Amino acid sequence: MFDLSGKIALVTGAASGIGEAIAFKLARQGAFIYVADIDETNGQRVADDIAADGGQANFLKLDVADREACINAAETAHNEHGQLDVLVNNAGLGHVGTILEASADDLDRLYAVNVRGMFDLTKAVLPKMIERKHGVIVNMSSVGGVVAVKDRIAYCITKFAVVGFTKCIALDHAGDGIRANCICPGRVETPFVKARIDEYSDPEKAYREMAATQAIGRMGTPEEIAAAALYLASDEAAFVTGTSLMIEGGWTVGK
């Protein structure tokens, strides 16, 4: 079950948090992992940790907001392995603010990474996947891609776009052997969330309130999100495409 032996996977934003946990989870099921991230130090650390854990991984320096770099990353995977089976578009940026507080530049900055980067990298890897009639794409959206989250307008715009992007890829390429799904996590305790919490005047209160947003009363762990990514990446999810998998501790259950 969930066997990924012989599969080649590229995970963006894999130097930290959810992406790091996904890279580990897929590697433990036998996949070779490209740990793709803008952060060289932590990216190399994750690749080394996976190797020390008995897995196979290479660090690949990648800024997903750089179109040429996305094209080069796809070429690297194909040149080195002749195939890419799984693409996990996980890299993402956050922002706290209403429309009055967020600037158009804030929106552009988030959009370039959270949406356009996903578009460019998927566009770069898809032709070879279609040629092989096999490919899995897992995109990281958020609860904020399904319901509005207070004071997160720029973030929510980008994460709603990820849901739409995923559905379009799923519909356009189902006949090509491609599956595309996204994951919508609730709050997960990662450096990303810790940075957001530190933006509040009372971080401890913000932490308690963020934990309480989930019906379950706590934040998720990166591993709990990685489990969903593993399922979607594996053949166990062969009949699943275009879906938005809510892994959110019941955040939206009463909404």
Ligand X SMILES: NC(=O)c1ccc[n+]([C@@H]2O[C@H](COP(=O)([O-])OP(=O)(O)OC[C@H]3O[C@@H](n4cnc5c(N)ncnc54)[C@H](O)[C@@H]3O)[C@@H](O)[C@H]2O)c1
Distance between CA 10 and CA 40 in Å, rounded? Answer: 16
Based on the shown chain and the rule CB under 6 A, indicate whether residue 22 belongs to the binding site for ligand X: no
- What residues between 185 and 224 interact with ligand X by CB under 6 A? 185, 187-188, 190-193
Nearer to ligand X, 3 or 15 (CB): 15
Catalytic residue among 34, 111, 155, 200: 155
Residues 6+ apart with CB under 8 A from 234: 1, 2, 3, 4, 29
Alpha helices (H) in the chain, listed in sequence order: 17-28, 40-52, 67-81, 104-111, 117-132, 153-173, 191-197, 203-212, 222-233
Told to judge if 231 belongs to the known catalytic residues of this protein, a careful annotator would answer: no
Among 92, 126, 137, 251, the residue binding ligand X under the rule CB under 6 A is 92
Based on the shown chain and the rule CB under 6 A, indicate whether residue 181 belongs to the binding site for ligand X: no
Nearer to ligand X, 204 or 239 (CB): 204
Based on the shown chain and the rule CB under 6 A, indicate whether residue 16 belongs to the binding site for ligand X: yes
For 32-66, the DSSP string reads EEEEEES-HHHHHHHHHHHHHTT-EEEEEE--TT-
- What residues between 93 and 152 interact with ligand X by CB under 6 A? 93-94, 113, 117, 140, 142
Dihedral angle sign, alpha carbons of residues 103, 105, 110, 115: positive
Of the ranges 92-100, 126-134, 199-207, 236-244, which one interacts with ligand X (CB under 6 A)? Answer: 92-100
Based on the shown chain and the rule CB under 6 A, indicate whether residue 249 belongs to the binding site for ligand X: no
Q: Phi and psi dihedrals of 217, rounded to 5?
A: 85, 15
The residues binding ligand X (CB under 6 A) are: 12-13, 15-19, 37-39, 62-65, 90-94, 113, 117, 140, 142, 185, 187-188, 190-193
Active site residues: 155
